[in-house]
Amino acid sequence: MPDDNDRVLMTRISPDPGAGPMALLSSRRFAGRPEQVRHARRFVELAVGECSAAEYAVLLTSELASNAVRHTESGNGGSFEVSVYLGDSRLRVEVADEGSARTTPQPRLIDLDEEQVPGGRGMAIVDLCAACWGHSGDDSGRVVWFELPRDGSAAGQDSLELPKGA
C-alpha cells in the first residue's frame, strides 16, 4: 500500500480531465546532444510567446530535455522531440525520448541538511513547479510531460523566484 507521500505524488501527476481539450501548437525534433537543450528551451520560448507561464515552461523543458540526453538512449546518438500544446487555461509540454531500461522519471527528495552532489534535482524541480506532470512509455521510448496554468500560477511557484535568464 502506498504511503502518504506516494498518494500526493500520484495526485500531482494526474491530469485534470475537466480542463478541456488541448491543441498541438508546435513540435520539433532535436539531436540527443547536450548543446541541443538550449535549442529546445528557445523553441519552447518562441512557441509559447507572451504566455504568463513562459519562464516556467522554459525552465521545466530544460530539465526534461537534459534528462532525455543524460539518462536515455536519446543521448547515445539518438534524438528527442519537444511538443507544445495549448488549451483554454493550460499549457502542456511533452518531451519524447528513445527510452531507457536504466531509469524511470521520479523526483528525488532533497535534504537541505545533507551535502548535495551536483545533478539529480531535475524532476524535483518539475514536481515543485508544475501543476501536474507524468510519463508514459517503456524501455523503447518514453514521453515525459508537464502542465502549467497559462496565467503563470502553479504549485509551489509563489515561493520561487527564477534568476533572470534561467
The pLDDT score that the predictor gives to residue 20 is 72
How is 71-129 classified by DSSP, letter by letter?
HSGGGTT-EEEEEEEEESSEEEEEEEE---SS----PPP--TTSPPPSS--HHHHHHHH
Nearest to 47 by CA among 26, 75, 20: 26
The pLDDT score that the predictor gives to residue 85 is 96
pLDDT per residue as tens digits for the range 95-149: 999 988 666 655 555 555 555 555 556 788 888 889 999 989 888 899 999 999 9
Q: Which residue has the higher pLDDT, 42 or 107?
A: 42
Cα Rg for the chain, rounded, in angstroms?
15
3-class SS of residue 22: strand
Which 8-state DSSP code applies to residue 150?
Answer: T
Mean pLDDT of the chain: 79
Q: Taking the model in full, what pTM does it have? A: 0.76
Nearest to 59 by CA among 106, 137, 128: 128
At 86, the pLDDT band (50, 70, 90 cuts) reads very high
Nearest to 60 by CA among 142, 152, 159: 152
How is 58-78 classified by DSSP, letter by letter?
HHHHHHHHHHHHHHSGGGTT-
Where do the domains of the chain lie, and which CATH numbers do they carry? 24-108+117-157 (3.30.565.10)
The pLDDT score that the predictor gives to residue 137 is 87
Residue 133, strand partner residues: 146
Distances (CA, A) of 128 to 21, 35, 93, 100: 24, 25, 16, 24
At 16, the pLDDT band (50, 70, 90 cuts) reads low
The pLDDT score that the predictor gives to residue 56 is 94
